[in-house]
Structure 1
């Protein structure tokens, strides 16, 4: 991509950003009211698994946490014809561009119950109105990390149980969970609720695919060394396929990590079969290896990065630029500045591959980048304006801007 195109992309994003940037200023006027809502900081599930819940002395005991996210934003450069051949759906012609400003929401209600003080049963329900094929949706060209499509209906999002075996081993299993719920370490300090989903997979996007389903995992910790082994079965609830069946989509991951006070380094391997029972090429039938880590500079700065390699079980033959089932790689780098300009606020910048990169002649390097700034209105209310650009091979460049408002309660 030449410098003129890059400059044009930045101008487009900044125009969208300018239309939305007034939102934080308006919300600033409601600070005196918002400060009283909630108040306790909420930590993500990626904290080291060695710590247990502190719920008091009476069991069983249940904690409740909630999170609602509003997303107001839009994109430029996405049309029906570019969305997986879905042009014409809903009465729209293939040339209809999806460049309108949209307003989405996502609400998660999480219940954590301990029966012994050392275990945890987590149940989460979720509701959202992100369209699956819309640009910000879970299959969209600019999928957001917070995107969840339930068509305004409340759904069970997660249900799993964790318990220790001795002092060094933890077991997790359940009928509905995500791959990273089973990992002993998440090897990145870049925010888990950042902007683009593709930049929140520790650089090894195929290794840390974050697939959901039924699964189980075991984590062993010894001083700074943490090892995990897990599997996720996407079709476990399908009675015609079943749990860990040959035709089911299963994902097996192993991870070995070293966790120090200042840095984290992890290597992981994932085998995914996509339910393939023959030798035909399938882009989702692969093995993948990833190396990821993070480093903390002082108290306020961190740098995270990772790289992943993907090897399909059976490549396309012959190997041409039109055939996509072949070896590839991904990478990403994320910078986070805590207490940016104002205490409590954060600035983040992430850049990496927008899709798995292939070494084909004439194939354009896929690239995605994002920049965001968290305005911490209170411990329970954060406003985050952001801009981003996504470039994929053979597709129009996507420029976007949004304002995300997050309520924790």
Structure 2
């Protein structure tokens, strides 16, 4: 027996059933079968079976299954039997003086009869040891896992003129930029765990997917995965999550978003890499009032059905200047109560309080600036209802509705503006192929429904209709063609309907 065999079968004896679970007789590609006997199992009536069993029971060596036996009159494969024999031989070498001569003779005979199987086991151990050495020498990290996503997208918008907000002259409108584009986005995830329950995430981003509002005149046409860093790498996510109890998890965000903490209740469409390719359909706008910042969050599982979550984010926390910092500048604080009455459905109620963070970025220009350039101090209260239900194994229905009340704190009489949005979502999985996803989103992007500040209004409701189909080309590659129609863009029926198409290809590794 080699020292490596001794170490390995000492491990085998501790693994118990994992090692000696009943498997069909197996042989390696280098092992030759030279005798019909090699194709047979070791039966309870064979002398070798009873000899080894007696030795094991005599010396109290707990090899075999959990009860220390071969489980009655059950045949063993020759490979199984050799594993048990080798483990016993290891014990003999470690403690020779406790074994009488006749037992050594029995072991010697067993060793001769099963020499080829023992040699095969030793060869497998040697190869395993080499592979472990390579992994130890070349592994990226013992605590950190690297994964990534690469997106290629071809996109184009179609119609005559760019959208303009209500109240502006159509004579000033420009032709829509309708050239086909080809763009990319790269994300690298470095996920580190120090305890097995915590998570330190560093996400690196590079891309050139542009915000298409400049091409179409409206944020309603934005892609869910747009990020334009001119393909320069930057850190766009950095947070640390850790439990303080079985039901409570804390998240410290240096660079993060609301939905790093809070469940957006849109499990199929809610990923910008594999879900909806358009911004409005990926999640409720209430989670976008502050798209990124610094702060902290908490998630508390009251029970298996109820969860409370809260998050606070400051936009310019790193600056010590007046009107900035962690608590003296633009911020958003959101709380959410989620109820999962069944495994197939959930309902979420969300409330947020924000300051100078009304930039929802999925609606019209007026909803992002309801008081124009006249106010530099806007507070807002937002209320959201989000739900998603699995109707059967393939069909999911969901949607959201939200209402925002913004107040210009620095204007006379503190005028208010109210914003409303809603959407219904429909998703079907495994429709044409296992792993595919068909999605439909229909709703109204954020719209001013009342404004006490004169001159800014959204008279005509815009409607968003998007359809997409995610096709799994392989386990790690998906292709998603998507089509978007915006009726009355910018909530202005003087604007032409805008059509957009995109084909997003996502590579995951």
> Offset of 1:258 from its aligned partner?
1.0
Alignment map for 1:76-155 (pairs within 5 Å): 76-77=158-159, 82=164, 95-132=174-211, 140-155=219-234
1:313 to 407, 423, 446: 407
Native 8 Å contact 1:137 1:148 kept in 2: no
Q: Are the structure 2 counterparts of residues 318 and 328 from structure 1 closer, same or farther at C-alpha, using a change threshold of 3 Å?
A: farther
Q: What is residue 368 of structure 1 aligned with on the other side?
A: 464
Provide the TM-score with structure 2 as the length reference: 0.60
Write the deviation string for residues 184-222 of structure 1: whole angstroms up to 9, x where unpaired. x222234122121122223xx235535201110011102
Q: What is the CA–CA distance in structure 1 between the aligned matches of 2:337 and 2:304, rounded to whole Å?
A: 13
Q: Which has the higher helix share?
A: 2
Q: What is residue 497 of structure 2 aligned with on the other side?
A: 397
Q: What is the CA–CA distance in structure 1 between the aligned matches of 2:327 and 2:313, rounded to whole Å?
A: 12
C-alpha RMSD over aligned residues: 3.3
Q: Are the structure 2 counterparts of residues 294 and 133 from structure 1 closer, same or farther at C-alpha, using a change threshold of 3 Å?
A: closer
Q: What is residue 71 of structure 1 aligned with on the other side?
A: 153
Matched, 1:237 2:318: yes
> Based on CA coordinates, which of the two structures has the bigger radius of gyration?
2
Q: What is residue 265 of structure 2 aligned with on the other side?
A: 187
Q: What is the CA–CA distance in structure 2 between the aligned matches of 1:370 and 1:119, rounded to whole Å?
A: 37
**Further displaced range: 209-218 or 253-262:** 209-218
Greater RCO (CA < 8 Å, at least 6 residues apart): 1
1:196 to 275, 278, 291: 278
Q: What is the CA–CA distance in structure 2 between the aligned matches of 1:275 and 1:266, rounded to whole Å?
A: 22
Q: What is residue 226 of structure 1 aligned with on the other side?
A: 307
> Offset of 1:346 from its aligned partner?
1.4
Q: Are the structure 2 counterparts of residues 349 and 136 from structure 1 closer, same or farther at C-alpha, using a change threshold of 3 Å?
A: farther
Write the deviation string for residues 10-32 of structure 1: whole angstroms up to 9, x where unpaired. xxxxxxxxxxxxxxxxxxxxxxx
Q: Are the structure 2 counterparts of residues 408 and 136 from structure 1 closer, same or farther at C-alpha, using a change threshold of 3 Å?
A: farther
Q: What is the CA–CA distance in structure 2 between the aligned matches of 1:295 and 1:229, rounded to whole Å?
A: 23
| Structure 2 SS opposite 1:392 | helix
Q: Are the structure 2 counterparts of residues 195 and 338 from structure 1 closer, same or farther at C-alpha, using a change threshold of 3 Å?
A: same
Native 8 Å contact 1:132 1:138 kept in 2: no
Q: Which has the higher strand share?
A: 1
Q: What is the CA–CA distance in structure 2 between the aligned matches of 1:263 and 1:124, rounded to whole Å?
A: 31
Q: What is the CA–CA distance in structure 2 between the aligned matches of 1:256 and 1:138, rounded to whole Å?
A: 36
> Offset of 1:397 from its aligned partner?
2.7
Write the deviation string for residues 64-112 of structure 1: whole angstroms up to 9, x where unpaired. 110011110200247568499xxxxxxxx96343111111111100010
| Structure 2 SS opposite 1:219 | strand
Alignment map for 1:156-175 (pairs within 5 Å): 156-175=235-254
Q: Are the structure 2 counterparts of residues 162 and 138 from structure 1 closer, same or farther at C-alpha, using a change threshold of 3 Å?
A: farther
1:292 to 381, 386, 399: 386
> Offset of 1:328 from its aligned partner?
2.0
> Offset of 1:325 from its aligned partner?
5.5
Q: What is the CA–CA distance in structure 2 between the aligned matches of 1:355 and 1:102, rounded to whole Å?
A: 27
| Structure 1 SS opposite 2:286 | coil
Alignment map for 1:244-323 (pairs within 5 Å): 244-246=326-328, 248-259=329-340, 260-274=342-356, 285-314=379-408
> Offset of 1:288 from its aligned partner?
0.4
Q: Are the structure 2 counterparts of residues 70 and 102 from structure 1 closer, same or farther at C-alpha, using a change threshold of 3 Å?
A: same
Matched, 1:382 2:478: yes
Native 8 Å contact 2:165 2:491 kept in 1: no
**Gaps (5+ residues) in structure 2?**
1-140, 167-171, 359-370, 452-456
